[in-house]
Amino acid sequence: MTIHHQPGRERIDAVRGFNRFYTRQIGLLDEGLLKSAFSLTEARVLYELAHRDGLTATDLACDLGLDPGYLSRLLKKFEERGLVERVATQADARRSSIALTPAGRAAFAPLNQGSHDQVAALLDRLSAPEQDRLVKAMQTVQRLLGESAEPRVPYMLRSLQVGDIGWIIHRQGLLYAQEYGWDETYEALVAEILGAFVKSYDPKWERSWIAEREGEVVGSVFLVRQSDAVAKLRLLYVEPSARGLGIGRRLVEECIGFARAKGYKKLTLWTNDVLTSARRIYEAAGFKLANQERHHAFGKDLVGQNWNLEL
């Protein structure tokens, strides 16, 4: 199912502007290669061969968008120069799998180094955090435009590191402001909760789980001790970009498992009724609505809810 959105002029223009910009950028980078004995296309072919095994001519033509005839001649020339070897695949005699010879690797090495150095020089003009942002932005573009049927790396859970709580405060603050119009007092509440969590952290009775995917925090939850018998689940959140992967449910399950293992009798949590997807997770996990009441907070009229789970 595809939803239609009418992309909007500005976005289209922005993307076209970027395409023009990057066309030029790639042109600049390719000029560097021009000095070598290989053309840009030859270099691209060598790169693919150097980094992937068992490629056939069709694979190459398809991946690089080349004309099969052109590629055929190109490979022939490489073979004559002793840079590649072709062996017919046993499964299909029409195809042959192409590999660089040691001589081919030797010819590719300076090319590769040149490209490497050029990019290194480009990056070197930026500060470390800028480099980081650049790489992240490029990965975002690539992920979004790449074969949308991505083999989406799943996520992993880890414990709290320095920088996490600030990040989580930042993201939750922005997210709830965007999605529900909450004001800065929500962000402040998150800051107070997490500041206190770390300050009075008791590893024996408390824990946090951070969901990370491709190096980015995409969700988190905290479990704090209220009394010997009662644990409280706090600040569950999942990034919009990572929703639908079961991360929310998993985080809640981890909490429940931990609470059971520690011998708590009850797990409780406080939420607001507008947070429907979170509520669905709590219901599915067996939480029961204990009570609710109207209140005014975060610049909105809300309905606060307490949910409990007997362990």
Partner DNA sequence: ACTGATACTTGACTAAGTCAACTAAATGGT
Partner DNA sequence: ACCATTTAGTTGACTTAGTCAAGTATCAGT
Contact call for residue 210 and a copy of itself (CB under 8 A): no
The only residue of 1, 91, 93, 120 in contact with a copy of itself, by rule CB under 8 A: 120
Task: Residue 226: name its binding partner from a copy of itself, DNA, none (Cβ under 5 to 8 Å by kind).
Answer: none
The only residue of 73, 77, 81, 116 in contact with a copy of itself, by rule CB under 8 A: 116
Contact call for residue 276 and a copy of itself (CB under 8 A): no
Contact call for residue 50 and a copy of itself (CB under 8 A): no
- Which ranges in 154-227 belong to alpha helices (H)? 164-180, 184-199
Task: Residue 130: name its binding partner from DNA, a copy of itself, none (Cβ under 5 to 8 Å by kind).
Answer: a copy of itself
For the record, the structure tokens of 107 come out as 């010819």
The least distance separating a copy of itself from the CB of residue 26, rounded to whole angstroms, comes to 6
Please name every residue paired with 267 in a beta bridge, in sequence order, or none if there are none. 231, 309
3-state secondary structure 151-171: CCCCCEEECCCCCHHHHHHHH
The only residue of 3, 91, 153, 261 in contact with DNA, by rule CB under 7 A: 91
Contact call for residue 70 and DNA (CB under 7 A): yes
Contact call for residue 99 and DNA (CB under 7 A): no
The least distance separating a copy of itself from the CB of residue 85, rounded to whole angstroms, comes to 24
Contact call for residue 63 and a copy of itself (CB under 8 A): yes
Q: Which stretch binds a copy of itself (CB under 8 A): 186-194, 258-266, 283-291, 301-309?
A: 186-194
Q: Which residues contact 181 (CB under 8 A, 6 or more apart)?
A: 299, 300
Task: Residue 265: name its binding partner from DNA, a copy of itself, none (Cβ under 5 to 8 Å by kind).
Answer: none
Q: Which stretch binds DNA (CB under 7 A): 94-102, 145-153, 235-243, 271-279?
A: 94-102
Task: Residue 129: name its binding partner from a copy of itself, DNA, none (Cβ under 5 to 8 Å by kind).
Answer: a copy of itself
Terminal CA-CA length for the chain: 40
Q: Which residues contact 219 (CB under 8 A, 6 or more apart)?
A: 155, 210, 211, 236, 237, 238, 239, 242, 247, 248, 251
Which residue type sits at 62? Answer: C
The least distance separating DNA from the CB of residue 72, rounded to whole angstroms, comes to 3
For residues 122 and 31, give the distance between their C-alpha atoms in angstroms, rounded to a whole number: 14
Contact call for residue 153 and a copy of itself (CB under 8 A): no
Kindly write down the DSSP assignment for every residue of 66-123, as one continuous string.
--HHHHHHHHHHHHHTTSEEEEE-SS-TT-EEEEE-HHHHHHHHHHHHHHHHHHHHHH
Which residues bind to DNA, rule: CB under 7 A?
39-42, 56-59, 61, 66-70, 72-73, 75-76, 86, 91-96
